[in-house]
Amino acid sequence: MLSFFYCIARYEWFMAATFFISDLHLALQASDVEAQKLDKLDVLFERIGNEGGTLYLLGDILDYWLEFHHVIPKEFSRFFCMLSSLVQHGVQVFYVAGNHDFELGSYFTQSLGITTAYGINEVTIEGKRFFVAHGDGLGEGDTGYKIFARLIRTRFSRFVLQWLHPDLTIGFMKWVSQLSREHKPTNSSFEVDRLLHFAHSLRAEQEFDYFVCGHNHVQGVHELAEGSRYLNLGTWINGNYSYGVFKEGKFDFFDL
């Protein structure tokens, strides 16, 4: 079932932009690479803060995440400080969970002031109809992952993982993240075609202007029926620090 966000652009001296990023996979790579990602993200957040826009995080921003009651993995401390500062400057932030986000709990909503969601979501921006999603589990196939995602996000599974020692749970989550990459590389032709086919099938059922996602790590733009477009944001793990911007009726990609 679709859930719904409604984003109303603010008009000041200019129309504020809406920004999109996905698949940073923070804490995946070597420390120097991770530091560079955060440096680039700092530049982007400064731009968003100055312009007063809206930010959509479309999944797998972190390479693993499960919320604990009293513990935050130290690998994400700088990122969360940056994110908190962005929200405090009046920026609306929406986080759509990806397949590496086992649970987005109250820390995001209550402590950071971020709206969270799962699956595919409808968004209205500047009068245009968007569908935004990470991209995992959409369309036909990938039955094994769909079953796993349902199991790992049950209340019982979350209870067990949250009450284990954090070092054990974090080790487990890192192992599952690596297993996911080995099981089905995200940039495989299957994943690229699956998401595009899903966008085509969705457009055949209902009208929209943009379908925006990530997940397969392949940045791309494809025309759908009657002017609708499929947009994939790509990834930051290959050194291409790209992001999408929708402003004044136009969607563009930029690199940092």
Residue 8 sits in a domain whose CATH number is 3.60.21.10
Look up the domain containing 172 and give its range.
3-255
Structure tokens at 15: 């129309």
For every one of its 256 residues, what pLDDT tens digit does the chain have, with 9 covering 90 and above? 455 454 443 333 357 899 999 999 999 899 999 999 999 999 999 999 998 899 999 999 998 877 767 777 788 899 999 999 999 999 999 999 998 887 788 899 999 999 999 999 999 999 999 999 999 888 665 655 555 566 666 666 666 666 666 666 666 666 666 666 555 555 555 566 889 999 999 999 999 999 999 998 999 999 999 999 999 999 999 999 999 999 999 999 999 9
Supply the pLDDT for residue 202: 96
pLDDT, tens digit, for every residue of 61-85? 998 877 767 777 788 899 999 999 9
**Tens digits of residue pLDDT in 131-176:** 999 998 886 656 555 555 666 666 666 666 666 666 666 666 666 6
pLDDT at 138: 85
Q: Per residue in 165-174, pLDDT tens?
A: 666 666 666 6
**How many domains does one find in the chain?**
1
pTM flag (> 0.85): no
Give the per-residue pLDDT at 150.
63
Strands in 92-96's sheet, in edge-to-edge order, are 115-117, 92-96, 54-57, 18-21, 242-247, 250-255
Q: Write the secondary structure of the chain as one string of H (helix), E (strand) and C (coil).
A: CCEEEECCCCECCCECCEEEECCCCECCCCHHHHHHHHHHHHHHHHHHHHHCCEEEECCCCECCECCCCCCCCHHHHHHHHHHHHHHHCCCEEEEECCCCECCCCHHHHHHCCCEEECCCEEEEECCEEEEECCCCCCCCCCHHHHHHHHHHCCHHHHHHHHHCCHHHHHHHHHHHHHHHHHHCCCCCHHHHHHHHHHHHHHHHHCCCCEEEECCCCCCEEEECHHHCEEEECCCCCCCCCEEEEEECCEEEEEEC
